[in-house]
Amino acid sequence: MADALRTIYAALMILSSVASVCGNLLLLLALLLNKELRDETTGLTLSFSLSALALGLATIPSGAYNSLARRSRYPSEGAACQGSGFLFLLLQTSSTHSLTWATVHKFMELRFALSYRSMWTARRNRTLLVLVWVFCAVTASLPLLGFGSYVYSESRFLCCPSFEPGNRNFVLLWTSVGILAPILTTCSLYGYMVYVARKQARRGTFMCNELHCYYVPANNYLRSSNVMVTTSVCLLVCWLPFTSVCLYETFSGRQSPAGTASLSAWLVLTSAAVNPWITCMTQT
């Protein structure tokens, strides 16, 4: 890759790292200092935010450093590369699944307004959070056990899963179950909630508390639907190029252009900087 492109890539990664660290730290401080922001999905929100924070502190700076150091070779068999690849897969998978289950909670709150509290209990929420991390840890461990592999990607400047034809079973499993399924589920649930919000906006509604009832203007519903549409677009823009490049390399046996691979890797890591915005803007 040309030196100019390496420098641009490193600069973009540094900006993404700073945005991820600052945004997620502010979100965590807000949750810590304001009890009113906590609800049944606080554990999932913390999982979502901590995964993004770890990406901003470890994986993204590593990509920037490797690019600036003009490093084109890296011992893929070493513990450092294998550990870096494990963290990349673990954190990205946990981030997407935590977001998806938080969205499922919002959907249940809307669709089953009268019974969702009995369905989504604190105990079940803790169990779900443990299962999410167990699933992500097992998935990230498979390449260390011989099902798939971690290698240093010269075009992405990262240790990540190997997208070679021999690893197609693992790549297909991770991209479909670990990434695409939760993201498409999130977007589909947002689509349903946007439909409900638009429908409600046409007629408005009243909300009541212990003291009085008040009219909720249509703009409130339209604003929330715009946020969910924007969130869905951001998720698809960040993830679809990366998964498309990965599947192309795996099933064609050809390397994608270096610029395309680098851009897709930067986009998927930039999702860590978008995460705090997603979490804050989709709250009630």
CATH number at residue 156: 1.20.1070.10
Longest dimension (CA), the chain: 67
Low-confidence ranges of the chain (pLDDT < 70): 1, 37, 40, 70-76, 113-114, 197-226, 278-284
Q: Assess contact for 108 and 124: CB atoms under 8 A.
A: no
Output the CA–CA distances (angstroms, integers) from residue 79 to 112, 118, 159, 237, in the order listed: 48, 46, 11, 32
Residue 94: its pLDDT value, please?
Answer: 92
Count of alpha carbons within 13 angstroms of residue 59, beta-carbon side = 32
How many helices (H) and strands (E) are present in the chain, helices listed first?
A: 10, 4
Q: What range defines the domain where residue 133 resides?
A: 3-281
Residue 225: its pLDDT value, please?
Answer: 65
How far apart CA 50 and CA 43 sit, in angstroms, is 10
Residue 244: its pLDDT value, please?
Answer: 93
Tell me: the pLDDT tens digits for 155-201? 888 888 999 998 999 999 999 999 999 999 988 988 887 777 666 66
- State how many domains the chain has: 1
Beta-carbon neighbour count of residue 239 at 10 Å? 22
Q: 60-68 and 258-281 helices cross at what angle (nearest 10)?
A: 150
How far apart CA 216 and CA 101 sit, in angstroms, is 28
Residue 64: its pLDDT value, please?
Answer: 84
